[in-house]
Structure 1
Amino acid sequence: MTTFGLCSLFLASAMAIERALAITNPHWYSNHMKTSVTKQTLAVIWCLVLLFALLPIAGVGEYTRQWPGTWCFISTGDREVPGNMFFAITFAVLGIFSLLVTLSCNVVTIRGLIIRCKTKSGTSQSSKQWERLTTETVVQLLGIMCVLLICWSPLLVLMLRMISHQVSSHECNSTAVTSSRNSSRDVQLDCNFFLTAIRLASLNQILDPWVYLLLREILLRKFCLVANAVSNCSIEEPKETQTALDALNKQNHQDGNNLDKPQGSKDVNI
């Protein structure tokens, strides 16, 4: 969980940095960013994260069973273990740092795309295509930023909170915290929310591909067409009903006038 969690965050940061460089410095990007650089960057990220996750084997930090005893993760409150606070704090700080890098680079990318789109505005086919690609990319980046924040912020912030309050997984199952009813209730809430936060973080790897797949211009256009069709049907249906009622009333009025006329009488035009 430590390896794949940090890898997803670091890879998102690397992709955000690459996008920002491609938009802000396209000439430098085309000359220096080769396929070999991408492969080396991926290998370095995987190796560094794997080495960090293996620190407990070297005696730095500890993995413990978490509440409710069905999964293991970094211990957050055991100060007796050598380097445990360093290990837990480093994980949370690295995660928050990668989130900030991703968000800032995505903001730079969105700003660069909007500026370039304004400079290329016009009626030509290329300018319209650039506007379409800009809109699709901005929507995807906003979706990625929302997914990252929702999935990872609760876990990382809660880890720092539990570290500062020295709350460990042992206290969740233990009945030793009976000094105060409020303190035991706060500990239990932190433990329950910690389980929810790790579930949200696990969903990030599932939701990221769907963000790229669903937030595409062609699907957004189809969604708008369907919504427009539904709204038009709901608006036109009362109009058609009112038109039919008006026609029926007119027909009834004409029939009433015909019945009021005596038989054999003729209309005289004056």
Structure 2
Amino acid sequence: MSRRPQCPGPQNGSQPGAMRGNGTARGAEGCGAEGCGAVSVAFPLSMMITGIVGNALAMLLVARSYRAKGSRRKRSFLLCIGSLALTDLLGQLLTSPIVISVYLSDRSWDAVDPSGHLCVFFGFSMTVFGLCPLLIASAMAVERTLAIRAPHWYASHMKTRVTKTVLLGIWLAVLAFALLPVAGLGRYTLQWPGTWCFISTGHSLFFASSFAALGLLSLVVTVACNLATIEALVSRCRTKATASRSSKQWGRITTETLIQLLGIMCVLSACWSPLLITMLKMIFSHTSFEHCKGFSSEAQSSELHKECNFFLTAVRLASLNQILDPWVYLLLRKILLQKFCQAANAVSKCSNEWKERSITLSEETRRTAA
């Protein structure tokens, strides 16, 4: 879903094909300042490669951890992580080549998709591979909360079969939801500046508002469950009177899992909150960013300029989600956590040594003065 804006010329916003420029003129988002030629196909290509490599590595690590002997307690969580990586990988493979093709065609969508069917497919992919990671992240947060706050119920009821059923249900539900515009409820349209397609906020308010509401609801569930998990972990640490080997191992596993969840939660919130909130704002104010398609810095106000640019920034943040998710998981692996702890201990030890030395020097100074 990586994309950068083309630079449409000053066109009349009332014309139906206003967005479908050839990308040769300088226009919106300050392209005249930095030059349209400065944005090349290397940008979406590098983002696609980074996303594919990261998600592929994450899937390999999940597969190796899943087959390990001591991973029975974490298999449901590993299934969620693997499903998240697979979803992001498919999203990259299905959307990035389209973006690259538009770049190679001088950022003219008409040259790549004269029939308009590819625009519908692109909007469908954006919806599926945007909403699925949000819901899977919520499922991960709920799973970890049950594992820590209700371990006995979790051990007897939460089997891998249940996790697979939930994940399959998420995929099927999102696919059915994304197909609503095909049935006439909602619409996928070419978005300003003519390099990508997404849900139209000017046609079916129900479809657009449902997407935004489901996304925000999943974020709220993720945050609430992680806060509940943190509270349970803190409470467990306070009530533990003895620290056996098994409890230490379980504490390490839950801490590692919690940090992974918090990292993914932060990435999801930072990437998707601006776009989802902006969509709801447009729906409640009965406006649409399709008015950006005729944007010209000479004919429109600076306020419109800011709104259109903020919308593009929000979309770019959302597109980064597929790339950042696997790297969050990779960077927060146990080996890196151990390295971090070793470095922190080294710094703490060094600091304590300096304190002891300073105290010793102070005492010697006092004795000398005396």
Q: TM-score, normalised by structure 1?
A: 0.74
SS at match of 1:106: helix
Corresponding position of 2:269? 149
Task: Sort the Cα spacing of 1:38 and 1:133 in 2 relative to 1 into closer, same or farther, 3 A.
Answer: closer
Determine the C-alpha separation between the residues in 2 that align with 1:218 and 1:9.
27
Corresponding position of 1:266? none
Corresponding position of 2:149? 24
Contact 1:2 1:53 in 2 (8 A): yes
Determine the C-alpha separation between the residues in 2 that align with 1:226 and 1:117.
23
SS at match of 1:16: helix
Corresponding position of 2:212? 92
1:197 and 2:314 matched: yes
Determine the C-alpha separation between the residues in 2 that align with 1:165 and 1:187.
15
CA displacement at 1:228 relative to structure 2: 6.8
Higher relative contact order (CA 8 A, sep 6+): 2
CA displacement at 1:166 relative to structure 2: 3.1
After TM superposition, which residue ranges in structure 1, 4 or more long, deviate above 3 angstroms?
121-135, 175-179, 223-232
Contact 1:162 1:190 in 2 (8 A): no
CA displacement at 1:186 relative to structure 2: 2.5
CA displacement at 1:199 relative to structure 2: 1.6
Determine the C-alpha separation between the residues in 2 that align with 1:177 and 1:229.
56
Determine the C-alpha separation between the residues in 1 that align with 2:337 and 2:296.
55
- Give, as a single letter, the amino acid of the residue that structure 2 aligns with 1:136: E
Task: Sort the Cα spacing of 1:140 and 1:169 in 2 relative to 1 into closer, same or farther, 3 A.
Answer: same
Determine the C-alpha separation between the residues in 1 that align with 2:237 and 2:178.
43
Work out which of the residue numbers 191, 198, 213 in structure 1 matches 2:330: 213
Task: Sort the Cα spacing of 1:229 and 1:27 in 2 relative to 1 into closer, same or farther, 3 A.
Answer: closer
- Cα RMSD (Å): 2.8
Contact 1:64 1:169 in 2 (8 A): no
Corresponding position of 2:240? 120
When structure 1 is superposed on structure 2, of 62-71 and 215-224 the one drifting more is: 215-224
Task: Sort the Cα spacing of 1:40 and 1:140 in 2 relative to 1 into closer, same or farther, 3 A.
Answer: closer
1:50 and 2:175 matched: yes
Gaps of 5+ in 1: 240-270
The 5 A counterparts of 1:102-141 are 102-120=222-240, 122=242, 124-141=244-261
CA displacement at 1:201 relative to structure 2: 1.3
Contact 2:128 2:175 in 1 (8 A): yes
Determine the C-alpha separation between the residues in 1 that align with 2:255 and 2:296.
56
Which deviations, in whole Å up to 9, do the C-alpha atoms of 1:192-250 show, x marking residues without a partner?
11121122112222212222221234313323545776896xx99xx9xxxxxxxxxxx
Q: Give the length in aligned residue pairs.
A: 228
Determine the C-alpha separation between the residues in 1 that align with 2:279 and 2:135.
18
- Give, as a single letter, the amino acid of the residue that structure 2 aligns with 1:108: A
- Give, as a single letter, the amino acid of the residue that structure 2 aligns with 1:64: T
Corresponding position of 1:262? none
Determine the C-alpha separation between the residues in 2 that align with 1:158 and 1:25.
37
Gaps of 5+ in 2: 1-125, 358-370
Task: Sort the Cα spacing of 1:228 and 1:161 in 2 relative to 1 into closer, same or farther, 3 A.
Answer: same
Corresponding position of 1:251? none
Determine the C-alpha separation between the residues in 2 that align with 1:14 and 1:162.
29
Contact 2:190 2:196 in 1 (8 A): yes
Corresponding position of 1:263? none
Contact 1:67 1:192 in 2 (8 A): no
- Give, as a single letter, the amino acid of the residue that structure 1 aligns with 2:220: L
- Give, as a single letter, the amino acid of the residue that structure 1 aligns with 2:231: R
Task: Sort the Cα spacing of 1:216 and 1:114 in 2 relative to 1 into closer, same or farther, 3 A.
Answer: farther
- Give, as a single letter, the amino acid of the residue that structure 2 aligns with 1:172: C
Contact 2:137 2:265 in 1 (8 A): no
- Larger Rg: 1 or 2? 1
Corresponding position of 1:36? 161
When structure 1 is superposed on structure 2, of 162-171 and 11-20 the one drifting more is: 162-171
Task: Sort the Cα spacing of 1:143 and 1:125 in 2 relative to 1 into closer, same or farther, 3 A.
Answer: same
Which deviations, in whole Å up to 9, do the C-alpha atoms of 1:117-145 show, x marking residues without a partner?
33335454344434433443333232222
